[in-house]
Amino acid sequence: MSDVREVVRERYGRIAAEAPIEGCCGGGSSCGSTSSLDIGYSEAELSQLPEGANLGLGCGNPQGIAALSPGETVLDLGSGGGIDCFLAARQVGDSGWVIGVDMTPQMLARARANAAKSGVRNVEFRLGEIEHLPVADESIDVILSNCVVNLSPDKSTVFREAFRVLKPGGRLAISDMVAQGPLPAKLREDLDSYTGCIGGAAEISEVEKMLSGAGFVNVRITPKAASRDLVVSANIEARRP
């Protein structure tokens, strides 16, 4: 597990230090898209972002299913350059708060610089792993994430941590890669496939089981489009009772 985590950290640290890119999960075709517009962001949303916040690393737009309201506290798992944090900050307004957590120092530096130059005051970025969130119990209304949980070698712990930090009635609204069937062992063991958002994708039934096992209810996993691909992008929703 530590080897996978370090390879992921190194790859995304390198991405953060380089010029912005477009395309899911580092520019590959794993999510079937070539731009942020293709995966669900609108031109209006993208125009609101600080330059450098959008690194093209997502596989969907979790804002589209989150139904954020003014005053809510939002947590973004694997916040990267801050794209979803900055969009969420606008939706929750001055009375709300947004926390981004990322394990890559280079990403945090980039996101914090983006926040400073854009003057966004209701967002903060914390260093941490999504398996060990630096967030208090029952303090979050909504959890977002975009093509990040599939990168974790311990997804069950991620979902237990998400449950811990959510308030009763809080909700999970993420976009991620899921498998529509068993992945070949060779693919799961290939680190390039793992860091490219393919090798670490769990089967839909496994994700449902992990979420239910963590205590979530109203679990719903919706692949974004009918596809024969083994690994596809999906919206994942659940609620803490």
| pTM listed for this prediction | 0.88
- Residues 79-112: pLDDT tens digits? 988 889 999 999 999 999 999 999 999 989 999 9
* 234 contacts 222 by C-beta, under 8 angstroms: yes
CB 124 within 8 A of CB 52: no
End-to-end CA distance of the chain: 31
> How would CATH label the architecture of 2-239?
3-Layer(aba) Sandwich (3.40)
Residue ranges per structural domain of the chain: 2-239
pLDDT, tens digit, for every residue of 154-207?
999 999 999 999 999 999 999 999 999 999 888 888 877 887 888 899 999 999
Please report, rounded to a whole number, the percentage of residues in the chain having pLDDT higher than 90.
Answer: 58
Cβ-contact 177, 232 below 8 angstroms: yes
What pLDDT, in 10s, does the model give residues 10-42?
A: 777 777 677 444 444 443 334 434 477 767 776
